[in-house]
Amino acid sequence: MVNLDPSRVIEVLHNPPSVGRPTILPDFFLDHFVITGSLDEFIQGLKRLAEQGGGNLTGTTHLIRRGGNSVNTASALLTLGMNPCLIVKTDRQGASLLRSLVSPQLDLGHLHVDGRLSATVSIEAENRGRRVDLMVSDSGSAFDFSYFDLTESDIQAVLGSPLVALLCLNHNRNAPKLAEDLFSKVHSDSKALTFMDMGDPSSNVSIVEPLAKRVVSEGLVDILGMNENEAGWFAQAITGEVDKWRDTPTRPEKWLSAAKLVSHETGVRVDFHTPHFTATLEDDAVTALPAFDVPVQVTCGAGDAWNAGNIFGTLVHLETRDRLLLSNSVAAMYVSSASAVHPTREALIQFLKGKQALSNIGSKLIRAL
């Protein structure tokens, strides 16, 4: 049985130290959620419409929300009481939409409007016993954002930050170059930590190997955030054993092995989040906790919420186990919120004081360590 002691996390949430402004970049997406039940029934409904020459499929719930890994992570950090520096590129319509969809307290002083709106239709459905999030995207400015899009003001904000998080690289055609340029500058001219979360690269596979070998393995990344899908992609790129690691996302017993391999071969600290458990892998040491077992209302943005808790915990110097506990709590409260609301510190304190169920699957996978 896993014994969770939330006292240290609660103490920090009551009175967090001042740690400066983390910088988050570079994407904003307009997210259109389509929430349905069974994926098979949804697909059959679409096929029926196609066979009759078109029509209207009803019975789904639709929501328009802020999106993009960077905006969602920054929004969650703001709700936790931090003042993130958000650097994103869109167009004037996108800027207007962004202002209407985020808290007025979120600093948009580094918003670029000389690009294109990025947009995603996110289909959330039930498949094989779990909620899945299927995204169909127009990458917009996330496709070609580069280091040279940064203004002098942006660069000064980056260099003055305690942590620089580069997210949503899966949409970027030159992701390795962007990561190399940005993180080289950060490491040479500041003391900031560098944090990277690639995102799902299945539509942009060519970025994975150079990110692994030219960026992560070269020491440019201090913290690599990833889920079970991304762990499988990195394991394939690092080892060249595509057949061995291709099925990683659907094989929970492989998840930790893939993450261990990535951390061991690159030397990077891996902060690993899955639906059933989370872990930090560093210097061949593994610290893991089962996820909370909560009713899932929304899945899109769960990784961003977890990353925000992880960034917060890193910057306030929580011990690894406590940091994972905080991150799991932020993610659990987010996914169980039908309106996709990020939790405040006060709400997290109440959550941690309560008796929360843990994932049985996660507990079993961790016991197998």
The average pLDDT across 338-362 equals 95
Number of domains the chain contains: 1
**Inside any domain, residue 40:** no
| Burial degree of 173 (CB within 10 A; 0-12, 13-18, 19+) | middle
Residue 269 located in a structural domain: yes
Task: Report pLDDT digits (tens) over 27-86.
Answer: 999 999 999 999 999 999 999 999 999 999 999 999 899 999 999 999 999 999 999 999
Domain of 295 in residue numbering reads as 7-28+67-118+140-367
Residue 51 in any domain: the answer is no
Q: Give the chain's mean pLDDT.
A: 96
Specify whether the CB–CB gap between 187 and 218 falls below 8 A. no
pLDDT above 60 (res 15): yes
pTM confidence score: 0.93
34 inside domain: no
pLDDT 10s digits, 192-225: 999 999 999 999 999 999 999 999 999 999 999 9
What CATH number corresponds to the domain at position 217?
3.40.1190.20
Residue 1 pLDDT grade (very low, low, confident, very high; cuts 50, 70, 90): low
**pLDDT above 70 for 336:** yes
248-286: pLDDT as tens digits: 999 999 999 999 999 999 999 999 999 999 999 999 999
Helix 302-315 to helix 320-335 angle (10° resolution) is: 150
> Considering Cα of 254, then 212, then 165, then 261, what sign does the dihedral take?
positive
In sequence order, the β-bridge partners of residue 88 are 111
Residues near 289 by beta carbon (within 8 Å), at least 6 away in sequence: 2, 4, 277, 278, 279, 321, 324, 325, 328, 362, 366
At residue 312's C-alpha, the angle toward residues 3 and 234, to 5°, is 85
The answer to whether position 2 is within a domain reads: no
- For residue 52, is it within any domain? no
The CA distance from 224 to 222, in Å, is 7
Domain contains 33: no
216 neighbors 224 (Cβ within 8 angstroms): yes
Examine residue 132 and state whether it is found in any structural domain, yes or no. no
Q: What is the mean pLDDT of residues 342-364?
A: 96
